[in-house]
Amino acid sequence: MAKIFVFAEQRGNGLKSYALEAVSAGRKIADATGGEVIACLVGKGVSNLTGQLAKFGADKILVADDSQLAAYSPAGYSTVIADAVKTEAPDVVFFSASAMGRELAPLVAIKTNTSVVADVVGAEWQGDHLQIKRPVYAGKAYLKIAVKAKPAMATLRPNVFPASEKAGAGQVQELAVTLSEKDLNVKVIATEMKSSGRPELTEAHIIVSGGRGMGGPENYPVIEALADTLGAAVGASRAAVDAGWRPHSDQVGQTGKTVSPNLYIACGISGAIQHLAGMSSSKYIVAVNKDPEAPIFKVADYGIVGDLFEVVPEMDKAAKQLLEK
Amino acid sequence: MKIVVCVKHVPDTETKVVIADDGKSLNPAGVKFILNPYDEFAVEEALRLKEAQGDGDVIVLSVGPEEAQSSIRTALAMGADSAILLKAGNSALYDGVAVAKALADEIGNLQPDLILTGKMAIDDYGHQVGSMLAELLGWPVLGTARELTFTNGKATISRDIEGGRETVEATMPCVVTAEKGLNDPRYPSLKGIMQAKKKTIEIKDANLNQSGFEILEMTYPPQKPAGRIVGEGAAAAPELIRLLRDEAKVI
């Protein structure tokens, strides 16, 4: 009878894909144990998102809807979530390992006197505790951990746990919001969203990434064209970012983003360990590189040895033909 | 300004991971340890603040084994003024809460105006100690900073979020965690290295008796079956796309 509490992250009044993944992960544990899933929504004007949470498995949806929560504030959000966790006394609390979730989980953990296991890629209930799996040492090892702290608090790596529709009871309950001045001591004063028209890296199902082999910033349209044909995000290796060709927000790897898409196409990327740390959990990896000895071929499911400037446009052409059919 | 920089001694990313005989930890033999790169950004930022103000005190604080002194020396060689090591056991896969509590206890004595640390350590990817420390102190936290400025007793950072960027401000004192891009850390100068040798590292015992979890097993990542070279050059592209569609079913 495990009771699972899920922080359902929204930005701009839209649920993040990983919020639904976390709800689904909770549903799976609840079903295995005859337990329940409680989703928690925080923001302003977010009540319209409850239906979607119910559809993916939430039995109860706690809604903290308040103008003081319109802009994300770590102190304000963590206070509201911690109060809800104390009231509900769940066995498990899930956040996403997103910018927001990674910041909130530790704050809520201190407020509720528990610990956090971060960047979890596997979770199951074992009799009386949560057992999780998570990478360490840049993905060169995995830990299996029995979480003894109560509640068991974890951040789930995006794009790893499948989001699947399986209706929960979906009972909605409003939360009263009372914040002190201290809860608003951190303020987001500006948010600037980039609209490349492409999916965000951590949420993308397909990523086309370019490294040192791209030769310069002027050559990225070659991979952007393939990305747009496939509806993919565009990433970059550390070499390309350090050279100033692409912004740091595009960087995949240890000092950039950790991604787990269904398909990762590495173009002109040698496959240094820093890069592999950020993408080796992709379901399928394709490498295009002119060096047949490049380490990227060791982790790739499919590879083409050749000049990316010749290969990638042909891939784009073939993909266009196939997708038109 | 009195600045405390919290740092961790971690295995270099390039290190070959060999699991110890207990099946639960890293075999440290032959492993090169370094100052956690995100903490290096934090040290650099503290030094720049001190230099910009022409005055200040940069104190390095670490929880780790005896050997962590080598990483602390790196920070001292960069220019930090003094250091404290809270000595803990060898397995560095600590519970973040226990580490944050040990740091908070010590910081209670130091009374800094600002705490800087990396957004995460590259060994355990815990991504939590900075925020927990702030919460324990009752201070605001500005996480994953790519830019940091101070005006009228407030700290302002800019950081990446999914699909964009946000600007966040907090009252001082506060904790700021460093993201890559905050600065370009200096290499210790020869003079700095010589001076660091003369600086003392105060060593105390850390009390890390709390752990909210038990490590059951450490394993190597599952071996992927060997990949396939579809072909050479542009001629192989159509077959690759066909495989992605028909075999992998990902497009």
Let me know whether A124 and A158 are in one domain.
Answer: yes
> Are B14 and A297 within 8 A, CB to CB?
no
Is residue A268's pLDDT more than 70? yes
Question: Does residue B213 sit within a domain?
Answer: no
Dist. CA B105–CA A294, nearest whole Å? 48
Option in B14, B146, B213 nearest A147 (CB):
B213
Question: Does residue A213 sit within a domain?
Answer: yes
Across B206-213, average pLDDT: 84
The domain tally of chain B equals 1
Let me know whether A7 and A147 are in one domain.
Answer: yes
Task: Write out pLDDT tens, residues A18-53.
Answer: 999 999 999 999 999 999 999 999 999 999 999 999
> Are B165 and A249 within 8 A, CB to CB?
yes
Option in B13, B146, B234 nearest A306 (CB):
B234
> Are A280 and B221 within 8 A, CB to CB?
yes
Is residue B76's pLDDT more than 90? yes
Interface of B with A in 62-121 (CB under 8 A): 93, 95-97, 100
Q: How far A55 CA sits from the closest chain B CA (Å)?
A: 24
The answer, as to whether pTM is greater than 0.95, is no
State the pLDDT at residue B222: 84
Question: Does residue B78 sit within a domain?
Answer: yes
Looking at per-residue pLDDT, the higher value among B13 and A87 belongs to A87
Q: Residue A82: left if φ>0, alpha if ψ -120 to 50, beta else—which one?
A: alpha
Is residue B196's pLDDT more than 90? yes
Supply the DSSP symbol for A47.
Answer: G
> Are A135 and B126 within 8 A, CB to CB?
no
**Domain end: A151, A184, A217, which one?**
A184
Task: Write out pLDDT tens, residues A122-180.
Answer: 999 999 999 999 999 988 999 999 999 999 999 999 999 999 999 999 999 999 999 99
CA-nearest residue to B158 within chain A is A190
State the pLDDT at residue A1: 87
Local confidence band at B93 (pLDDT 50, 70, 90 cut-offs): confident
Question: Does residue A194 sit within a domain?
Answer: no
Let me know whether A53 and A162 are in one domain.
Answer: yes
State the pLDDT at residue B207: 80
**Domain end: A156, A184, A212, which one?**
A184
> Are B162 and A16 within 8 A, CB to CB?
yes
The domain tally of chain A equals 2
Question: Does residue A191 sit within a domain?
Answer: no
> Are B131 and A74 within 8 A, CB to CB?
yes
Let me know whether A32 and A157 are in one domain.
Answer: yes
Dist. CA B123–CA A137, nearest whole Å? 5
Range of the domain at A292: 201-324
**Domain end: A130, A156, A184, which one?**
A184
Q: What is the CA radius of gyration of chain A?
A: 21
Range of the domain at B95: 2-205
Local confidence band at A284 (pLDDT 50, 70, 90 cut-offs): very high
Let me know whether A37 and A176 are in one domain.
Answer: yes
| DSSP track, A126-173 | ETTEEEEEEEEGGGTEEEEEEE-SSSEEEEEPTTTSPP-------EEE
Question: Does residue A305 sit within a domain?
Answer: yes
Residues in A closer than 8 angstroms to B14, CB to CB, are 273
Across A305-311, average pLDDT: 97
* Residue at A73: amino acid letter: S
User: Number of CB pairs < 8 Å for A and B?
Assistant: 271
Let me know whether A158 and A41 are in one domain.
Answer: yes
> Are A144 and B95 within 8 A, CB to CB?
no
Q: How far A58 CA sits from the closest chain B CA (Å)?
A: 24
User: Of A260, A304, A320, A321, which to mutate for an interface test with B (greatest number of B Cβ within 10 Å)?
Assistant: A304
Option in A102, A284, A323 nearest B127 (CB):
A102
State the pLDDT at residue A84: 98
Residues in B closer than 8 angstroms to A262, CB to CB, are 250
Let me know whether A138 and A27 are in one domain.
Answer: yes
Task: Write out pLDDT tens, residues A76-131.
Answer: 999 999 999 999 999 999 999 999 999 999 999 999 999 999 999 999 999 999 99
Question: Does residue B162 sit within a domain?
Answer: yes
> Are A185 and B140 within 8 A, CB to CB?
yes
CATH number, domain of B71, equals 3.40.50.620
Option in A193, A310, A318 nearest B238 (CB):
A318
> Are A115 and B180 within 8 A, CB to CB?
no
> Are A310 and B233 within 8 A, CB to CB?
yes
Residue among A178, A28, A190 at smallest CA distance from A94:
A28
Option in B15, B168, B227 nearest A300 (CB):
B227
Let me know whether A54 and A151 are in one domain.
Answer: yes
Residues in A closer than 8 angstroms to B129, CB to CB, are 106
Burial class (CB in 10 A: 0-12, 13-18, 19+), B142: buried
Residues in A closer than 8 angstroms to B241, CB to CB, are 315, 318-319, 322
Is residue A8's pLDDT more than 80? yes
Let me know whether A170 and A224 are in one domain.
Answer: no
Let me know whether A249 and A176 are in one domain.
Answer: no
State the pLDDT at residue A185: 87
Q: Which residues contact B154 (CB under 8 A, 6 or more apart)?
A: B169, B170, B171, B172
Residue reference for tokens 């809860």: A183
Interface of B with A in 130-159 (CB under 8 A): 130-132, 134-136, 138, 140-144, 146, 156, 159
Option in B96, B136, B221 nearest A140 (CB):
B221
CA-nearest residue to B24 within chain A is A143
Question: Does residue B126 sit within a domain?
Answer: yes
Say if CB A149 and CB B213 are below 8 A apart: yes
Question: Does residue B224 sit within a domain?
Answer: no
State the pLDDT at residue B91: 67
State the pLDDT at residue A182: 85
Dist. CA B63–CA B112, nearest whole Å? 18
State the pLDDT at residue B36: 97
Dist. CA A73–CA B79, nearest whole Å? 34
Question: Does residue B169 sit within a domain?
Answer: yes
Q: Is residue B184 within 8 angstroms of chain A, CB to CB?
A: no
Say if CB B127 and CB B159 are below 8 A apart: no
Task: Write out pLDDT tens, residues B121-136.
Answer: 999 999 999 999 999 9
Q: What is the mean pLDDT of chain B?
A: 94
Question: Does residue B247 sit within a domain?
Answer: no
Option in A75, A190, A313 nearest B167 (CB):
A190
Is residue B92's pLDDT more than 80? no
Is residue B240's pLDDT more than 90? yes
Option in A138, A292, A306 nearest B122 (CB):
A138
Dist. CA A104–CA B113, nearest whole Å? 23
Adjacent-strand bridge partners of A190: B167
User: What is the predicted ipTM?
Assistant: 0.94
State the pLDDT at residue B155: 97
Quote the strand ranges of chain B, DSSP E: 2-7, 9-11, 33-35, 57-64, 82-87, 114-118, 141-145, 147-151, 154-161, 164-171, 174-178, 201-205, 213-219, 228-232
Task: List the structure tokens of A14.
Answer: 């839209």
Let me know whether A45 and A170 are in one domain.
Answer: yes
SS3 content of chain A, % helix, strand, coil (to 5): 35, 30, 35
CATH number, domain of A151, equals 3.40.50.620
Is residue B245's pLDDT more than 90? yes
Let me know whether A133 and A91 are in one domain.
Answer: yes
Question: Does residue A192 sit within a domain?
Answer: no
Question: Does residue B222 sit within a domain?
Answer: no
Q: Which residues contact B229 (CB under 8 A, 6 or more apart)?
A: A292, A297, A303, A304, A305
| DSSP track, A64-85 | EE-GGGSS--HHHHHHHHHHHH
Task: Write out pLDDT tens, residues A176-230.
Answer: 999 998 888 898 999 998 777 899 898 899 999 999 999 999 999 999 999 999 9
Adjacent-strand bridge partners of A207: A233, A264
Strand-by-strand arrangement of the A141-147 sheet? A122-126, A129-136, A141-147, B213-219
Q: Is residue B56 within 8 angstroms of chain A, CB to CB?
A: no
> Are A284 and B244 within 8 A, CB to CB?
yes
Dist. CA A256–CA B14, nearest whole Å? 16
State the pLDDT at residue A181: 86
CATH number, domain of A238, equals 3.40.50.1220
